[in-house]
Amino acid sequence: MNTRAASLKNPSGVLERVYVDHHGWLRHWLQSRLGCPDAAADLAQDTFVRVVARREELQRSPLRQPRAFLRVIAGGLLVDHLRRRDLERAFLDALSARPDPTALSAEEREILLETLDRIDKLLDRLSAPVRRAFLLSQLDGLGYAAIGRRMGVSERTVKRYMQQAYRQCLAALL
Amino acid sequence: MSRSAAVSDAAVSPPILDEAAGWLALARQRALDADEAAQLEAWRRRSAAHEQAWQAALELQRMLRDVPPGLGAEVLGRHRLDRRSVLKSLAILAVAAPAGYAAWLQAPGWHADYRTATGEREDVTLPDGSRLTLNTASAVRLAWSDKERRLVLVEGEILVATAAGSKSDPRALLVETAHGTIRALGTRFSVRETGDGRTGVSVFADAVAVQPGAGGPAHRLEAGNTLAFDRLRVFPAAAHDTGASAWTRGQLVSRNQRLGDFVAELARYRPGVLRCDPAVADLRLSGVFQLEDTDRILDLLGETLPVRVERRAPFWVTVTVR
């Protein structure tokens, strides 16, 4: 991190200025959406790490609206953070509703949560009906005809949804 | 170096992805026969990119297999934050003039839509930890801001249970309907758009304040009671029976209820048309019914009451004289 900080030295000091001028504002902006100062601080930090990764680009063309730029980057991180937080809550709820929540070791839990997180990210890109059909097939084990009846669409449409879901998941995995 | 590897990875062209997805969708539909299995083998051997796409397919199948179905359905099938609308609001900001920022900061932070289809029921955890349960055919929009936590009931019925720690949340929790606003003064209550131009409210713990949209004084409703209101006035409250929140457990509870009213209630949970012949509408019934299978409930009516359930089509059902 130190060597990286040193490499930030540049004639315009663009990055330092973005950081100094807007860090407080960004933290506040994130906190007003998250309600949690620690998570806001972490996300603000992650945002600046991403800005640093784009420093060459930024030195070529200085930012005209640094806050708008930061907000776009932070927004992506924010959405993902909220998704993950939501997922963890649902995971803990689901576990605590099981007859024996201790049947899984801490490690198994962690692995399961990571797998769920990976799948959840893939599913997040799907439209609601495609996702629903996919989950009914993969997790509830329903056939295409039963899914069609449940969703009020034809079996052919279900197959099309499934193909679409697989395609988007594969594209994200490759 | 890693960059050139990334380029060769990207050589899996869109048509190859389509074909791989097609194979997966077919294999999920039914077992492949010997010919198809051989075709798939041949397809994989066509190029490195084909094989690479299939390896990703196998990885996807592995991941999905590793998830216990019940738990996975609960966790992955939960209602999601509406990513697109979050991003859209942000994108609007990115091009807004600086003067617009201040207005944005005061506007609701972000919106999320929760919706259930007919016959569905859904539990949702809100960003503050409060729980929201949506009954059949219901929709809620979240309008959260620094000052208040506002839930807009677009249609249907919801149960709100505020988070244990949320009394420390200084923001008011409000439910807005077409007819007015309900302010949570406590922990558990349900709100329903009754479809006859009124909103119904039932309180199960502590109290709420009901404010008709046209103004006037707010009306306090205590636990154990239910009332209806429209934009102009609040109708008298009455004690609700224990069945009032049964739907949150997937049940329909009736005590000496008119068959006509029962059928109208049941119709909310079924797609299509469900009607009751006026000739039998005044029969009475009592019972606890499982909403999960409304066809079974209809069969039970035919078995226990002097009525006939006429199914002209799966989605066209009439309860009539035997």
Rg, Å, chain A Cα set: 22
| Cβ–Cβ contact A1 with B under 8 A | no
pLDDT digits (tens, 9 = 90+) for A8-48: 445 456 677 778 888 888 888 888 777 678 888 899 999 98
Is the pLDDT assigned to residue A85 strictly greater than 60? yes
pLDDT of residue B194: 80
pLDDT of residue B79: 67
Q: Taking the domains of chain A in order of start, what are their residue ranges?
A: 2-124, 126-174
pLDDT of residue B183: 93
- Name the residue facing B75 among A72, A94, A138 (closest C-beta): A94
pLDDT of residue B113: 60
What is the average pLDDT score of chain A?
82
Q: Phi first, then psi: give them for residue B237, nearest 5 degrees.
A: -80, 155
CATH 2.60.120.1440 placement within chain B = 83-242
The three-state DSSP-derived secondary structure of chain B is CHHHHHHHHCCCCHHHHHHHHHHHHHHHHCCCCHHHHHHHHHHHHCCHHHHHHHHHHHHHHHHHHCCCHHHHHHHHCCCCCCHHHHHHHHHHHHHCCHHHHHHHHHCCCCEEEEECCCCCCEEEECCCCCEEEECCCCEEEEEECCCEEEEEEEECEEEEECCHHHHHCCCEEEEEECCEEEEECCCEEEEEECCCCCEEEEEEECEEEEEECCCCCCEEEECCEEEEECCCCECCCEECCHHHHHHHHCEEEEEEEEHHHHHHHHHCCCCCEEEECHHHCCCEEEEEEECCCHHHHHHHHHHHCCEEEEEEECCEEEEEEC
CATH 3.55.50.30 placement within chain B = 250-321
Q: Please answer whether residues A80 and A118 qualify as being in contact, where contact means their C-beta atoms are separated by less than 8 angstroms.
A: no
- A residues 113-152 lying closer than 8 A (beta carbon) to B: 115-116, 118-120, 123-124, 132, 135, 137-141, 143-144, 151-152
User: What token pair was written down for A17?
Assistant: 């200025």
pLDDT of residue A59: 72
Integer Cα distance of A144 and B76 in angstroms: 19
pLDDT digits (tens, 9 = 90+) for A130-140: 998 999 888 87
How close, in Å, is residue B176 to chain A by CA atoms? 21
Q: Which CATH class is domain B250-321?
A: alpha beta
pLDDT of residue B38: 93
pLDDT of residue B164: 64
| Cβ–Cβ contact A72 with B under 8 A | yes
More confident: A102 or B262: B262
Successive 10-residue mean pLDDT values, chain B, 322 residues = 40 90 93 90 93 92 84 79 50 35 34 68 84 87 80 88 71 88 88 86 92 88 92 89 84 90 91 88 90 91 91 84 89
Q: Is A8 helix (H, G, I), strand (E, B) or coil?
A: coil
Integer Cα distance of B91 and B134 in angstroms: 30
Closest CA to B224 of B201, B257, B246: B201
Q: Which CATH class is domain B83-242?
A: mainly beta
pLDDT of residue B165: 58
ipTM score here?
Answer: 0.76
Neighbours of B86 (CB within 10 A): 21
Integer Cα distance of B230 and B178 in angstroms: 8
